Amino acid sequence: MLLRPKQRTKLDDTNDGEFYSIPRLVTHVDEGFIDQLTQLYRDRLEANSRILDLMSSHVSHLPEEMEFAHIEGHGMNEEELAGNPRLHHYFVQNLNENLQLPLPDKDFDAVLNCVSVQYLQYPEAVFSEIHRILKPGGIVIISFSNRMFFQKAIAAWRDGTEASRVKLAKSYLESIPGLSTPEVIARKSDVPTILKMLGIGGGDPFYAVIAQRL
């Protein structure tokens, strides 16, 4: 196992459904991060393909000019998902309680996860499911910054550094047989940490970990 039991714990261990019951119709990263993510999707995704937006919200950050055959959404708040104009269908599921995705084998060309991987308590199981539903050659793109709901992030992520979080996300992909060697994109903020903590200057760092089903 990648994580010890203590590393899977959250400061707030109350029911996740209650925490996410209030819709948060905001973006959790800045425009610079979003622009970089949209460009990454533009570069790596194929038009008219089948996409799973895992742990999604009211926005998917997909390029507006690209059309896809099907975009399946997953998340924890139905109102947010219902307000996402890119989703053709969606389902609500707590991946910390129900680890199996209700989706067919080898059915998706891409699985996307934006700024949410830090909340997975059993990432090994979830990434095994991602592998299962990807078509051969399908891609998984995990993107994140340094922001989080601190009380809901697992200890292994919460107590780490930006560098250790990149390694952790990479290890999730490396732990799954049948995925390619992960590619890491890291664009750090050049603003000193103390200024970032004060909210002065600079933009959000951008990290992405990418692999393909072999």
Q: What is the pLDDT of residues 167-214, one digit of tens each?
A: 999 999 999 999 999 999 999 866 555 555 555 556 889 999 999 999
CATH topology of domain 5-212: Rossmann fold (3.40.50)
Q: Which residues pair with 119 in a beta bridge?
A: none
In 3-133 the beta strands, taken as DSSP E runs, fall at 50-54, 70-75, 89-92, 108-114
Structural domain boundaries in the chain: 5-212
pLDDT tens for 3-55 read 999 999 999 988 887 887 776 655 668 888 999 999 999 999 999 999 999 99
Phi, psi of 164 (to 5 degrees): -70, -30
Bridge-based pairing state of the strands 206-212 and 183-187: antiparallel
Residue 35 CA: distances (Å) to CA of 32, 72, 143, 213? 5, 22, 12, 26
